[in-house]
Structure 1
Amino acid sequence: MNDSNAPQFTRDFLTDGYISYTFGPRDAEGYLVQLFAVDAASVRAIRHQSGAFYVLNRPSHNSPPALLVNGQDAWLLDYAVRTGGSVVPQQLWPSQGQGDRRRYVDQAQFSMPVFFINASGSLGVPVTNAAAGDMQLHGVNLPSQLADKTAMTIRISWPGYPLPEHQVQLRDQAPTRNPITLERFVKIVGSRVKQFLLDCERVPVQGPPSNWIVGHGNITSDEVMLIGLVQVSAFGWMPILQLMSRVVL
């Protein structure tokens, strides 16, 4: 990706990227402020031919860069939404006490997002495949931005349903407490998402009827893709989810 020409910076990630589709453009800008500790307008991103957005700003957390662009470190920020169904909209920061927000969000240093790339180069793993451990991912080790952590909390904010939290252990049970493998990690996250969707089938939707209703005849885990994960608080991460073909209006 090295090029003698100066990179052309873009803000297309705020309209075309998975993070913006998941949280909305306004909250996506707020997320960038938290991630890079700069005004969102100061984020310098380039769009690669693969559809990936790389950013030249150094993240607040010491996440290792993904590659070099004209001799400068660059970090993977997002991907343009690829063909398929709708991206599941989620609430980035649900209402919480001011003290909790300051401690767990405002004062936290966020790691860069994690995206799941298959050996074929395609993006994302079907939730049912992930839960079954049926996948061929690029990379065998836990993503480097997670390797120094021992645990994380997974939150899923599906429209109209209660907000669950599940703790995920990122170390094995060996005396040396080694980081788990990438496939093991994706299997755990996929299982959490699948179980959440199964649980949703047994609870009423909160509020008015929604096109995001989960259950027989509506959306099921068989049609949901696990694209990646985004850190949203000191310990909390949220999955990026996309329907395989269904478009929800």
Structure 2
Amino acid sequence: MKQPFLMMMLGVGNGFCKTTYHNNALIDAEGRLFLIDCGAMAWQSLHEIGLGFEDIEGIFITHLHYDHCGGLEEAALYGAYAAGRKMKLWLPAPLKGLIWDKYLSGTLENKAEGRAALDDYFEVHWVEEGERFSFSAGSSAGLTARWLQTRHVPSKFSCSLIMDERLFYSSDMQADEELLRTLAEQGIETFYHDSSFIYNPVHAGLEELREYPEEIRSRLYLMHYGEVPAIQSEQELRGMKLLRQHEWLAW
């Protein structure tokens, strides 16, 4: 029997939502905690459930939008000057030359103290597409994952995660029924999928997801929808379910 893992959404909102925060997730892999993305409100969300930097082993970043990586500067500075440790940071290989040079160096570079690269703040692991890595708990194999590039903002890199070959986590992506059908055929049991309940050209819309086949809809858990919507029933959601902020789910 496979080891169950736990996941909690730190937020189910979009980049502008102040009540349900940014679309980031907390993973409990055999008692060790990891983040999928670290948006500008991630640390506030963790604080509200009694957690902080010291509790997090590492972070995986899916793409360079502030609601997904805007908390990295705080993580870097806290690790360097308060905690005295480097957090693990898994990054898709296409972000090389971008995340430091174009995003973080302007605030974090401190050559006087010998801090001139991402590795001076984090234990960095670059991951190629399809390459398996592990949210590891000590000597245990931990929770294995791999990323695949998915469509979000045209011309900008973004990816989704497959974890334990059972769960697909979209982060941010446009609707792609063919991809989800293929993944379901390959054995993916659960889909955590972003959804916009109003038109948004770079996110899957609720109306698009409502037209997916029932065998896909029944596995869909929706996030990134913003404020808790008025629609709640499975009849309205056509079998899909809403993820809730700060609620653990096992899978």
Alignment TM class, shorter chain as reference: under 0.3
| TM norm structure 2 | 0.24
| TM norm structure 1 | 0.24
From the two aligned structures, give the one with the greater strand fraction.
2
